[in-house]
Amino acid sequence: MTVERFKPEDLDAINLQPSQAMLRDAVTPDYLETVQTGPAITIRSQGEIIACGGVVQVEDGSVLWAFVAATAGRNMVSIVRAAQRMVEVARKPVYSTAACDFEPGCRLLRMLGFTPRPDPVDDVSADGKLHYLFVRTA
């Protein structure tokens, strides 16, 4: 497994997990420019991109973002460790979201020390689903 600096073309090459596949069309040039302003990485396993993610500073903290491949399963421990390192050094609070009906994403954010806000939000993603806003303050 290798970790390298994220490049925009990496998102074109990743075989996204089904829960994120519909987001590919929402990745605009502006989005790609924004995610490159903070630390961002690409993780490969046997040459295949299995995850892209990073942290972007916003006015009152940071936002954690990630795209994960359908084949990332056996590498999730390493992906989680990379995410933990990014979150630990990010300006707090750190925000992230997960679709309310995507329990693996919600569980992962809890494992990373995030707490969900009680009320779902519906204006954060191009997938048209309700999302929980998660926050990590320490």
Domains in the chain and their CATH numbers?
2-136 (3.40.630.30)
pLDDT value at residue 31: 87
- pTM for this model (two decimals): 0.90
- Splitting the chain (138 residues) into consecutive groups of 10 residues, what average pLDDT does each group show? 95 92 84 91 97 96 96 94 95 95 93 95 75 96
- Asked if 131 and 125 touch (Cβ cutoff 8 Å), the reply is yes
pLDDT value at residue 126: 67
pLDDT value at residue 26: 80
